[in-house]
Chain A
């Protein structure tokens, strides 16, 4: 699969995500050349970026060699019903997104160490990529697929699956 930086994203982030995809999901991932800043997706009223619009735009990019692609951005993403999202993916689809914007600041306003930021980005990416393999949210808090709406929840979420989701993922991977 491909990891594509969109706009100004530190190279280390894309590489960390690619390494986590291989390490935790056993998926080989290439870091692809960057795409331009997604100004087309900016909502003037909300001053945020519409994740759905960016996902739709990725459809027209030449990623024919990759079955799955995850875009990495440094802008604040939203979907119409929610105030923000850390990442977005279409269930069972080809494209996913992860945003660093809200991962760069702790709930108390402090700046996290770079290692924590990268860990957060990798977890969101693993979670969203798993949606591309048709995994649903999981009730088990000790599972990567447990939904995290807040940073402190995300920090408690592990980067690996529960037993149930693990076997579902392996099955989905085999079917690919």
Chain B
């Protein structure tokens, strides 16, 4: 049987719509009709049609205008222009604008078959391409870390370099930026990739338990130790130990770990026999450890031990150009997981997502997309699907004087635009000279 396609016929003449409908029903395609461009766009929002047959001459919105919108909003949809002999020039224009083909009506029976065959071939090639692209992305994405911004490209460049050495790495960045993914990527690209990657959230485990978890214990070492147990530092043998939220570790544990890192030997709790261990440590923190070292709340020697190489993951608000790519990735992910078909985000919704500050970073964005996909009743996500972001979208402090609020707002827009004054002035709807004067007046500087 033929490959079945979903087709919409857009023509103001009922007889043409019905003629197409009956013809395609014989082939077994899913066919829908629309009598105007507006009706077609409404139906496209509800269902992802693969092929559109569009008449050029229609009242209100003509075929060319409709095709322009379709190619912009749904670039994967094939548009075939139907035209009469008199409007062949328009048909040629349509081809230049992205139409897959055009048919002069009435057309010979085998012409229609050839066009459909061509579309089916294109579809097959596109799915092969998408499969291969997906495979390529799997290989090049560094374990699902996504980003095309210069800041993330720097991180991607550093990962393979860092992976080659065995030095301790400290990954800094706000919560939800993907520190563990970076740690996993470093492990995967290192010579230790065949050995375990063990992640421990130091902030989630009480100090006494953390000691036992890391070092292991002998039978009878403490009440309840009914049998001996290996700690993660032994289990990780040859692999990578990821200590998340390392800023939460107590000073005592810092000393113990410092010794292990220097001597590469451990002693299980309740045992006096040193055991050789071989692992690489990657730590992560969302706190400013340098400040804590200065304040004396974090040991300086331990800090320098774990911070041989520092990698900083920028917050999402500083790399907003990555948002569309991340949205696309999470849409794909949750379409797959929920078996829903939500594959499009309206421009104003994307603008909203780009304006929002994402205090929870990529994790918060992922949750927002998941929630919207699950609750969406159409294939397109609009502004209304992200209404829950509105209440907390503006991160400007509402405290202080009007002058302070103005300063903070300008500062935020400048940061969002990476201090591109022209771009920031456009958003603020003032001219560049005025913005320069305000920067000078408020003595504003780029936040490092």
Asked if residues B28 and A90 are in contact (CB atoms below 8 Å), the reply is no
Asked if residues B26 and A131 are in contact (CB atoms below 8 Å), the reply is yes
B residues in contact with A164, CB < 8 Å: 1
B residues in contact with A137, CB < 8 Å: 2, 26-28
Please measure, in the bound complex, the distance between the C-alpha atom of A83 and the C-alpha atom of B22, giving whole angstroms. 16
Contact of B2 among A79, A80, A136 (CB under 8 A): A136
Asked if residues A91 and B25 are in contact (CB atoms below 8 Å), the reply is yes
Cβ of A149 under 8 Å from chain B: yes
What number of A-B contacts does a CB cutoff of 8 Å give? Answer: 70
A residues in contact with B2, CB < 8 Å: 136-139
**Which of A135-165 touch B at CB < 8 Å?**
136-139, 147, 149-150, 153, 164
Contact bitstring A95-107, B, C-beta under 8 A = 1, else 0: 0000000000000
Most buried by B among A85, A89, A138, A149: A149
B residues in contact with A12, CB < 8 Å: none
A residues in contact with B108, CB < 8 Å: 82-84, 149
Cβ of A81 under 8 Å from chain B: yes
Asked if residues B110 and A150 are in contact (CB atoms below 8 Å), the reply is yes
Cβ of A7 under 8 Å from chain B: no
Asked if residues B26 and A149 are in contact (CB atoms below 8 Å), the reply is no
Cβ of A78 under 8 Å from chain B: yes
**Which of B10-41 touch A at CB < 8 Å?**
13, 15-16, 18-20, 22-23, 25-28
Contact bitstring B122-159, A, C-beta under 8 A = 1, else 0: 00000000000000000000000000000000000000
Min distance, Cβ B409 to any Cβ of chain A, angstroms = 59
A residues in contact with B15, CB < 8 Å: 52, 80
Q: Which residue of A lies closest to B22 (CB)?
A: A90
Please measure, in the bound complex, the distance between the C-alpha atom of A149 and the C-alpha atom of B1, giving whole angstroms. 17
The answer to whether A79 and B23 touch (CB under 8 A), given A137-B28, A149-B108, is yes
Please measure, in the bound complex, the distance between the C-alpha atom of A144 and the C-alpha atom of B113, giving whole angstroms. 16
State how many residues of chain B have any CB contact under 8 Å with chain A: 25
Asked if residues A82 and B112 are in contact (CB atoms below 8 Å), the reply is yes
Cβ of B109 under 8 Å from chain A: yes
State how many residues of chain A have any CB contact under 8 Å with chain B: 22
Contact bitstring A108-146, B, C-beta under 8 A = 1, else 0: 000000000000000000000001000011110000000
Cβ of B436 under 8 Å from chain A: no
B residues in contact with A150, CB < 8 Å: 109-110
Contact of B106 among A81, A131, A138, A147 (CB under 8 A): A81
Cβ of B107 under 8 Å from chain A: yes
B residues in contact with A153, CB < 8 Å: 110
The answer to whether A79 and B28 touch (CB under 8 A), given A136-B1, A138-B2, A149-B113, is no
Please measure, in the bound complex, the distance between the C-alpha atom of A57 and the C-alpha atom of B23, giving whole angstroms. 19
The answer to whether A82 and B109 touch (CB under 8 A), given A91-B22, A91-B25, A131-B26, is yes
Cβ of B105 under 8 Å from chain A: yes
Asked if residues B19 and A149 are in contact (CB atoms below 8 Å), the reply is no
Most buried by A among B107, B109, B112: B109
A residues in contact with B28, CB < 8 Å: 136-137
**Which of A162-176 touch B at CB < 8 Å?**
164
Asked if residues A136 and B27 are in contact (CB atoms below 8 Å), the reply is yes
Asked if residues A80 and B26 are in contact (CB atoms below 8 Å), the reply is no
The answer to whether A80 and B106 touch (CB under 8 A), given A136-B2, A138-B1, is yes
**Which of B270-325 touch A at CB < 8 Å?**
none
Q: Which residue of B lies closest to A165 (CB)?
A: B1
Asked if residues A147 and B113 are in contact (CB atoms below 8 Å), the reply is yes
Asked if residues A149 and B110 are in contact (CB atoms below 8 Å), the reply is yes
Asked if residues B110 and A80 are in contact (CB atoms below 8 Å), the reply is no
Min distance, Cβ A58 to any Cβ of chain B, angstroms = 15
Most buried by B among A78, A80, A131: A80
B residues in contact with A84, CB < 8 Å: 108-109
Q: Which residue of A lies closest to B25 (CB)?
A: A91
Please measure, in the bound complex, the distance between the C-alpha atom of A43 and the C-alpha atom of B80, giving whole angstroms. 27
**Which of B209-235 touch A at CB < 8 Å?**
none
The answer to whether A81 and B16 touch (CB under 8 A), given A149-B109, A164-B1, is yes
Contact of B23 among A78, A81, A83, A138 (CB under 8 A): A81
Please measure, in the bound complex, the distance between the C-alpha atom of A11 and the C-alpha atom of B215, giving whole angstroms. 99
Contact bitstring A64-81, B, C-beta under 8 A = 1, else 0: 000000000000001111
Asked if residues A81 and B1 are in contact (CB atoms below 8 Å), the reply is no
Q: Which residue of B lies closest to A79 (CB)?
A: B19
Asked if residues B26 and A136 are in contact (CB atoms below 8 Å), the reply is yes
B residues in contact with A78, CB < 8 Å: 106
Asked if residues A81 and B110 are in contact (CB atoms below 8 Å), the reply is no
Please measure, in the bound complex, the distance between the C-alpha atom of A117 and the C-alpha atom of B15, giving whole angstroms. 32
A residues in contact with B106, CB < 8 Å: 78, 80-83
A residues in contact with B16, CB < 8 Å: 80-81
B residues in contact with A83, CB < 8 Å: 106-109
Please measure, in the bound complex, the distance between the C-alpha atom of A139 and the C-alpha atom of B15, giving whole angstroms. 28
Q: Can you name 15 A-B residue pairings with CB atoms under 8 Å?
A: A52-B19, A82-B19, A83-B106, A91-B22, A91-B25, A136-B1, A136-B27, A137-B27, A137-B28, A138-B1, A139-B1, A139-B2, A149-B108, A149-B113, A150-B109
Across the A-B interface, the 10 shortest Cβ-Cβ residue pairs: A149-B110, A149-B109, A136-B28, A91-B25, A80-B19, A81-B19, A137-B27, A83-B106, A80-B15, A79-B19
Contacts A52-B18, A80-B15, A81-B112 known; 12 new A-B pairs at CB < 8 A:
A52-B19, A79-B23, A81-B105, A82-B19, A82-B106, A83-B109, A136-B1, A147-B27, A147-B109, A149-B108, A149-B113, A150-B109
